[in-house]
Amino acid sequence: NNLKQMDRSQRSFLLMLVGIFAVMAVASVVVMLVAASASQPSPQPSSSAHLSASEVQERFISELNASAIREDLRYLSSHAHIAGEYTPRNYETAVWVKERFSSMGFKTWMEEFEVLLSYPVSSSLSIVEGRADGYQGLQRAETPIEGDATSSEFVPIFNGYSASGSAVGKLAYVNYCRKEDFDEVAIPAGSVCICRYGKIYRGDKARAAEKNGCTGLLLLSDPADTLSAEQRQEREDAPPSSTFPSPMEVERYPLSGALPLGGIQRGSLLIPNGDPLTPEWGATANEQRLDIDDEYVKDALPSIPVRPISALNALPLMAAMDGPVAPSHWQGGLNITYRLVSTQLKVNFTVEMDNRITKIWNVMAEMEGYLQPDRYVILGNHRDAWDFGAADPSSGTATMLEVARSISKLYQSGWRPARTLLFGSWDAEEYGLTGSTEYCELHREVLKERAVVYLNVDVAADGSEGADVSSTPSLNDVIRRVSEGVPSAVEGVSFLDLWRTTMNASEPKVKNLGSGSDFSGFFQHLGIPSADLAYSKYGSYPTYHSIYESFDWMTQYGDPGFRRHRSIGALWGAVALSFADAHVVPLNYTSTAMELKSEAEKVREMMASPNSAYTSVSTSPLVSAVDEFVRAVQCFDEEKERRMNEVRSTSGAVAGVRQAYAEREYSDRLERAERAFCDDKGVPGREWYKHLIYAPSALNHYAGGAFPSIVDTFLSNGTESVLQTEVYRIARVIRRASDVMCTNLRQD
């Protein structure tokens, strides 16, 4: 009745007050709920919620099963699965991997792209003048081996993206086809060149060969470069006076892990990463594509015919060469004297290729984070192979599936990752990191905003006993910490101890990331902190990309007990779990700061050298920017420690909310600091590489280095003006990273 007696304005005012109090009451409840949630280190939905980080790691590692990895590898390497639609097995394997993830409870899907791939039609090498006793033409296939179940399956011999055409000329030998090889010995223009695999990326060999006048190129699997890990180790450990059988005479597969003399390494020659027809945008079905005659595409692909050749096939050709003797350090493992040219032997070398747009398939699997579902911890491995791929990449694929299975067991017990775990099984890596590159280009903005880290395993195990750890420096500390609790394949030895032995260092440091695997798009294109992990001492193995890289080779010589697979899987998953569950992501830029300081000093010394052509170039902008970054990292660490102590000492309903916000803020700054090292214009001449601090060498895309645009200018004899510009550009991105780390730096 009283309400009815009020006038309209009074009633409206009273209702407004009631509404305000109601909203405040609801807001208070929400704040208390959020606070209660945020104040818990790991608010999981079951009793396993209270597992410590070390307990999660221990349970994860204890679940890993070497026998399960072996059985997955048996299927994955049972048939050749070359990328695209060339072999039906490639798509079948994609479906199988997707189904395996689905069976573990992951949300799964496939992403399809249409890209330019390259397949063989025919190749020949005939003798036009002179003779080569015993030569009967290019071999069409590698020889099946009794006891190797898959070696009887035909796999074509080719180099992806070789030019189609004929080269007529005399043979010339150019060691490893590196810049320094061509600088050391002048090769007659118009030669059909032959060089050894190894040292640098084969695509860089082809580019160097065409630049220096070769009209065709044969890539030789030299016996000296294809010894087994045990044979290499034996030679390393022996006194200098020791004698050994020649590389032609050592036992080879199936009697050892060494490549048979008739074995051949396949592989791509593409220089830029990804589909050459869609540079920097995802190659989806209806996208724009460059014409095959576009200058970018022509520069990406070789202009000369290229093909691999085995030691046995090359022997009569090289034995017939009669020119000057090659330098002693150019002599290889064939039982002949290596000579530079042939004065009599002239050949006609022809290759025909089919370059076509074809479908490829990435398989994705997701376990959503319960606390920060918009932050992605990504684990990746490619699935396609040049042959059976028992090491490259299926050892990594089988290991990834076991990592996923072990994590799914944690999930079934009630544990949940705080951040989303995302697995990527990439297609067409072998052609040019194509599947992962297209994924990064298509999802560029989402990944730049949400990706925390990318963790890659390509070859999990290759027959050698060692730790091969490459990453952004900011991951050095977390990998080292986690590896202490990871068992190696050697009983009683941790992965950290193995890493120490491999690097001959009590505190081993990660190596720089080059290129050559799927981390490149994430790190060098998008600026996402990344790592590449392998159980390997040498970073290479003898049966690489041959048909003898088989399940039987792996079970006899690569990793008979699959303990190496299990060890690298334990490290891979444990690092991922550290990122998934840490309150603040475990990136530490102190290592980055120290690396930048060291590299900047090297640049300063190079410029100041009396022999330098760049003495007038000032390195002060770079040195001062690095010093500023060192201070910014210290500022960040001190600020984070001070604020987190303040937050933890508070109480009340909002304490947990404050802690959650602080943890998210510092995590975001750590994630974005690496992005700040990128510049949209990229490295000059190689603009796809946006990271101005780390990128692969222009002369060897397998090798990584600091300040790539400065190094490129040195190698190309660029002008002082160009070099000075690059010094300023690099200094600017370092300052941007400083701003991300400590926004108040310049105000202090």
Each residue's pLDDT tens digit, 421-477: 999 999 999 999 999 999 999 999 999 999 999 999 999 999 999 999 999 999 999
What pLDDT is recorded for position 120?
A: 98
pLDDT digits (tens, 9 = 90+) for 11-59: 444 444 444 444 444 344 344 333 444 333 333 333 345 788 999 999 9
Determine, yes or no, domain membership for 23.
no
Share of the chain above pLDDT 90, in %: 86
Indicate if 349 and 362 belong to the same structural domain: no
Q: Indicate the range of 246-255, 286-295, 736-745 predicted with least confidence.
A: 736-745
Question: What average pLDDT score do residues 541-560 get?
Answer: 98
Specify the pLDDT at position 676: 98
Together in a domain, 332 and 384: no
Q: φ, ψ for residue 723 (rounded to 5)? A: -65, -40
170 forms beta bridges with 346
Question: Cβ contacts of residue 11 below 8 Å, gap of 6+?
Answer: 3
Q: For position 83, which CATH number holds?
A: 3.40.630.10
Q: Count of CB atoms within 10 A of residue 335's CB?
A: 11
Those residues whose C-beta lies under 8 Å from the C-beta of residue 69, and which sit 6 or more positions away, are 398, 399, 401, 402, 562, 565, 566, 569
Q: Does 90 have pLDDT greater than 50?
A: yes
| Euclidean distance between CA atoms 280 and 377, whole angstroms | 23
Tokens of 215: 């009209």
Q: What is the pLDDT of residues 311-366, one digit of tens each?
A: 999 999 999 999 999 999 999 999 999 999 999 999 999 999 999 999 999 999 99
Mean pLDDT of the region 230-241: 94
The per-residue pLDDT for range 595-647, each reduced to its tens digit, is 999 999 999 998 888 888 888 999 999 999 999 999 999 999 999 999 999 98
For residue 6, is pLDDT > 50? no
| Predicted local distance difference test score (pLDDT) of residue 45 | 37
Helix, strand, or coil (residue 298): helix
Q: In sequence order, which residues have a C-beta less than 8 Å from that of residue 470 and are 6 or more positions away?
A: 510, 511, 512, 513, 514, 531, 532, 533, 704
Q: What was the pLDDT predicted at 20?
A: 41
Shared domain for 374 and 300, answered yes or no, is no
User: Quick check: is 176 in a domain?
Assistant: yes
Asked if residue 613 and residue 506 are part of one domain, the reply reads: no
The answer to whether residue 50 is catalytic is no
In angstroms, the Cα distances linking 551 to 76, 79, 149, 513, 545 are: 9, 10, 8, 29, 13
Q: In whole angstroms, give the CA distance from residue 697 to residue 207.
A: 14
Q: Same domain, yes or no, for 473 and 593?
A: no
State the CATH number of the domain containing residue 275. Answer: 3.50.30.30
CA distance 400 to 382: 10
Helix/strand/coil for 684: coil
Domain boundary among 562, 581, 600: 581
Residue 126 scores a pLDDT above 50: yes
Whether 362 and 472 map to the same domain: the answer is yes
pLDDT confidence bin for 650, thresholds 50/70/90: confident
On whether residue 25 sits in a domain, the answer given is: no
Task: Evaluate whether residue 43 is within a structural domain.
Answer: no
Tell me what pLDDT residue 613 has: 87
Spot the catalytic one: 429, 549, 552, 581. 429
Categorize the per-residue pLDDT at 514 as very low, low, confident or very high, splitting at 50, 70 and 90.
Answer: confident
- 413 is annotated as an active-site residue: no
Indicate if 166 and 181 belong to the same structural domain. Answer: yes
SS (H, E, C) 420-452: EEEEEEECCHHHHCHHHHHHHHHCHHHHHHHEE
**Separation CA 572–CA 574 (nearest Å):** 6
- The answer as to whether 30 is a domain residue is no
Q: Both 477 and 534 in a single domain?
A: yes
pLDDT above 50 (res 83): yes
Which residue of the set 668, 687, 720, 739 is catalytic?
A: 668
530 with 646, same domain: the answer is no
- For 459-497, give the secondary structure using H, E and C: CCECCCCCCEEEECHHHHHHHHHHHCCCECCCCCCEHHH
Q: Is 62 a catalytic residue?
A: no
Domain of 635, in residue numbers: 589-741
Tell me the whole-structure pTM to 2 decimals. Answer: 0.93
Tell me phi and psi for residue 127, to 5 degrees. Answer: -90, 125
Task: Classify residue 173: in a domain, yes or no.
Answer: yes
Number of domains in the chain: 3
Residues 337 and 454 in one domain: no
N- to C-terminal Cα separation, the chain: 65
pLDDT at 40: 38
Backbone angles phi, psi at 59, to 5 degrees: -65, -40
The answer to whether 480 and 508 are in contact (CB under 8 A) is: yes
Active-site entry in 382, 565, 691, 701:
691
> Does residue 96 lie within any of the structural domains?
yes
Tens of pLDDT, residue by residue over 171-201, are: 999 999 999 999 999 999 999 999 999 999 9
In angstroms, the Cα distances linking 303 to 212, 273, 740 are 12, 18, 44
Amino acid symbol at 255: L
Q: What is the pLDDT of residue 38?
A: 38
CATH of the domain at 686: 1.20.930.40
**Whether residue 540 is found in the same domain as residue 634:** no
Residue of 618, 638, 646, 665 with catalytic role = 618
Same domain, 526 and 672: no
Residue 539: what pLDDT?
87
Owner of token pair 């890493």? 499
Angle (deg, nearest 10), helices 8-38 and 655-676: 70
Whether 5 is in a domain gets the answer no
Give 673-725 pLDDT, tens digit per residue: 999 999 999 999 999 999 999 999 888 788 888 999 999 998 888 999 999 99
Residues in the chain: 748
Last residue of a domain, one of 565, 581, 597: 581
Query: Taking phi first (over 0 means left), then psi (-120 to 50 degrees means alpha), and beta for anything else, what does residue 472 get?
Result: beta
Catalytic residue list contains 429 = yes
The overall average pLDDT reported for the chain is 92
Domain boundary pick from 330, 353, 376: 353
Query: How does residue 654 score in pLDDT terms, banded at 50, 70 and 90?
Result: confident
What integer pLDDT is reported at residue 744 of this predicted model? 64
